[in-house]
């Protein structure tokens, strides 16, 4: 007998409907057979351990990555979100969580985490990069839409398989021959031109190479050699000093005036003080106001020449207490000039090397000012040499030597191999000696002074062109102030 589940009336076992209420009777379920084998492990699930085997027989749970460390693949962009970089020499890189083939599958019913906030794709270092199969070269379309609202920078990421080293910026490389040897070639041509000139002077009279004429050449050279020393020092500081000639005339005028009044020592002291004052004046304006030395010293030369002319009225003032023009005196003056020049060059060059690339402060500017003061003192020594040779002071003494000073200056600037101050000093003395020999040979041949000036000007122009080619422009040749103005502009 069975009982109706709706009305509770008794019913027969074979009845399919209740005889009282007419509702269908449910069949009792057949008892399930006991399981013979354990069910198979589900796919994509946690490690399965059968009941009849101990859990220790299987690897520990921590041997498999935790499920939350590897979210579902649907939560991350598709593969095309990270375009391959085969064109740049390495395989595409995906974040560790976006490489499902590297890890065990996760359960399908795992909760999907919320999508991460937008972070621009980054590429890890080579040792953490996921190994990926080689992809065909990929080139994005020219108008590709931005991803996550930010355009993809294909060339903004470093290549993992390359070692990046910081390379210094290099400017255009000039011709090494022009920078280093063109000036020497020009000077060699000028020196070779002296050979036929000397031979012509010797054949014309036969006395050019005599001991008397050679001594005369040496006496003429001493003042110009001292001028060359001062020019090299000024060139290595901020640029040439073209006021050395008129400053020499003014110093001799002061010395002769006080010496004729019975105070020779006071005349020497006052002459050197005036020279030092004029040099400090030039150095102050050149260093502090960054006025090009060529412009300022040319104006200073004009002022000194005008002042001397107003005092003497273009007349010659003889020296009553004669100074014997002996070779000993000339050598002493020359050696003193060399000592002053070497000290100035060493101090300024070492300080400039220590502070190279730094902004100039008070001390380097003060050294520049003192350097121009020492150059003016060297001009005073040249004035003593000229006064002992001529025995009188003249307004034109030392004047008209601007071409000679520029010739020495251009010779020193015509090669970058003359960066050392001492080598530049020796080369400047050689250039001044060559010009003195040429002047003496032309005078010996009776060539007019106008033609001599023309020859000197042409030679100076040749060396200036070589200096501009070697230094990379006329601004670099005429001094650092013009180069600084060009960099600021």
Rounded CA-CA distance 405/410 in Å is: 9
Residue with tokens 């002459």: 271
Answer yes or no: is pLDDT of 133 > 60.
no
DSSP-assigned states of every residue in 266-301: HHHHHHHHHHHHHHHHHHHHHHHS---HHHHHHHHH
Answer yes or no: is pLDDT of 149 > 50.
no
SS3 of residue 317 by DSSP:
strand
Answer yes or no: is pLDDT of 432 > 80.
yes
Query: Among 226, 230, 237, 352, which Cα is nearest to 283's?
Result: 237
Cα angle: 107, vertex 110, 114; to 5 degrees: 140
102-116, 302-316, 370-384, 421-435: least confident range:
102-116
Q: Tens digit of pLDDT for each residue in 202-240?
A: 887 778 888 888 888 998 899 999 999 999 999 988 889
pLDDT of residue 332: 93
pLDDT of residue 325: 81
In a domain, 134, yes or no: no
Both structure tokens of 157: 């990421």
Q: Tens digit of pLDDT for each residue in 6-42?
A: 777 777 777 777 777 777 776 554 444 565 666 666 6
Interstrand relation of 10-11 and 317-318 (parallel, antiparallel or unpaired): unpaired
Cα atoms in the 13 Å half-sphere on the side-chain side of 284: 7
pLDDT of residue 336: 95
pLDDT of residue 470: 87
Query: Among 80, 40, 47, which Cα is nearest to 64's?
Result: 47
Higher pLDDT, 234 or 67: 234
Both structure tokens of 134: 């080689």
Rounded CA-CA distance 428/451 in Å is: 24
Rounded CA-CA distance 233/240 in Å is: 8
Residues forming a β-bridge with 392? 318
In a domain, 47, yes or no: no
DSSP-assigned states of every residue in 370-435: HHHHHHHHHHHHHHHHHHHHHSEE-TTTTTT-HHHHHHHHHHHHT-GGG-SHHHHHHHHHHHHHHH
pLDDT of residue 353: 47
Task: Report residue 266: phi and psi, to 5°.
Answer: -65, -35
52-66, 251-265, 464-478: least confident range:
52-66
Expressed as residue numbers, the domain containing 247 is: 176-479
pLDDT of residue 141: 65
pLDDT of residue 169: 42
Answer yes or no: is pLDDT of 260 > 70.
yes
Query: Among 242, 223, 222, which Cα is nearest to 231's?
Result: 242
Stretch 261-267: mean pLDDT, rounded?
88
Say how many C-beta atoms besides its own lie within 10 A of residue 89's C-beta.
10
pLDDT of residue 150: 47
For the CA atoms of the chain, what is the radius of gyration?
A: 48
SS3 of residue 162 by DSSP:
coil
CATH of residue 472's domain is 1.10.3470
pLDDT of residue 61: 53
pLDDT of residue 263: 86
In a domain, 435, yes or no: yes
pLDDT of residue 483: 46
Higher pLDDT, 101 or 200: 200
* Residue partners of 104: CB distance under 8 A and separation at least 6: 64, 65
Angle between helices 362-390 and 211-237 (to 10 degrees): 160
SS3 of residue 2 by DSSP:
strand
pLDDT of residue 171: 40
In a domain, 187, yes or no: yes
Angle between helices 449-471 and 402-413 (to 10 degrees): 30
The answer to whether the CB of 395 falls within 8 A of the CB of 314 is yes
Both structure tokens of 81: 């979100």
Stretch 159-168: mean pLDDT, rounded?
45
Strands (E), 163-286: none
Q: Which helix (H) or strand (E) holds 177?
A: helix 176-180
pTM for this predicted structure: 0.63
pLDDT of residue 80: 53
Domain count, the chain: 1
- pLDDT grade for 408, boundaries at 50, 70 and 90: very high
The answer to whether the CB of 292 falls within 8 A of the CB of 239 is yes
DSSP-assigned states of every residue in 104-130: ----TTSPPPPPPPP-------GGGPP
pLDDT of residue 160: 47
Answer yes or no: is pLDDT of 164 > 50.
no
* Residue partners of 140: CB distance under 8 A and separation at least 6: 83, 152, 154
**Ramachandran quadrant class, 148 (left: phi over 0; alpha: psi -120 to 50; beta: rest):** left
Task: Report residue 411: phi and psi, to 5°.
Answer: -65, -40
Answer yes or no: is pLDDT of 184 > 60.
yes
Say how many C-beta atoms besides its own lie within 10 A of residue 6's C-beta.
13
In a domain, 86, yes or no: no
């Amino acid at each position: 007998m069975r009982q109706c589940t709706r009305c509770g009336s008794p019913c027969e076992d074979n009845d399919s409907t209740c005889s009282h209420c007419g509702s269908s009777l449910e069949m009792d379920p057949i008892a399930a057979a006991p399981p013979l084998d354990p069910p198979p492990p589900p796919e994509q699930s946690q490690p399965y351990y059968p009941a009849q085997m101990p859990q220790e027989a299987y690897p520990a749970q921590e041997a498999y990555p935790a499920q939350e460390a590897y979210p579902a693949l649907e939560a991350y962009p598709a593969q095309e979100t990270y375009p391959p970089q085969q064109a740049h020499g390495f395989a595409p890189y995906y974040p560790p969580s976006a490489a499902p083939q590297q890890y065990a599958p996760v359960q399908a019913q795992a909760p999907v985490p919320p999508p991460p906030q937008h972070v621009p794709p980054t590429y890890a270092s080579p040792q953490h990069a996921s190994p990926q199969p080689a992809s065909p070269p990929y080139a994005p379309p020219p108008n590709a839409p931005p991803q996550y609202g930010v355009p993809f920078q294909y060339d903004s990421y470093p290549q993992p398989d390359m070692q990046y080293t910081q390379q210094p910026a290099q400017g255009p490389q000039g011709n090494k021959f022009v920078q280093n040897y063109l000036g020497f070639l020009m000077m060699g041509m000028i020196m070779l031109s002296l050979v036929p000139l000397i031979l012509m002077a010797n054949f014309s009279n036969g006395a050019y190479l005599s001991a008397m004429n050679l001594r005369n050449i040496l006496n003429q050279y001493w003042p110009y050699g001292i001028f060359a020393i001062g020019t090299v020092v000024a060139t290595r500081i901020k640029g040439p000093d073209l006021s050395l000639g008129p400053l020499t005339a003014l110093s001799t005028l002061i010395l002769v005036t006080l010496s004729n009044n019975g105070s020779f020592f006071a005349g020497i002291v006052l002459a050197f003080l005036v020279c030092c004052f004029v040099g400090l004046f030039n150095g102050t304006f050149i260093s502090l106001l960054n006025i090009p030395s060529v412009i300022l010293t040319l104006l200073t030369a004009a002022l000194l020449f005008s002042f001397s002319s107003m005092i003497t009225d273009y007349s010659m003032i003889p020296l009553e207490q004669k100074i014997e023009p002996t070779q000993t005196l000339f050598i002493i003056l020359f050696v003193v000039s060399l000592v002053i020049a070497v000290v100035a060059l060493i101090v300024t060059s070492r300080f400039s090397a220590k502070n190279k690339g730094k902004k100039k402060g008070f001390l380097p500017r003060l050294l520049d000012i003192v350097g121009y003061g020492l150059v003016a003192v060297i001009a005073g020594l040249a004035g003593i040499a000229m006064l002992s040779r001529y025995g009188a002071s003249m307004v034109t003494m030392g004047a008209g030597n601007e071409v000679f000073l520029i010739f020495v200056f251009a010779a020193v600037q015509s090669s970058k191999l003359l960066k050392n101050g001492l080598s530049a000093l020796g080369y400047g003395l050689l250039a001044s000696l060559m010009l003195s020999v040429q002047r003496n040979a032309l005078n010996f041949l009776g060539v007019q002074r106008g033609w001599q000036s023309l020859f000197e000007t042409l030679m100076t122009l040749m060396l200036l062109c070589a200096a501009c080619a070697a230094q990379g422009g006329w601004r670099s040749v005429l001094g650092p102030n013009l180069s600084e103005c060009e960099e600021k502009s």
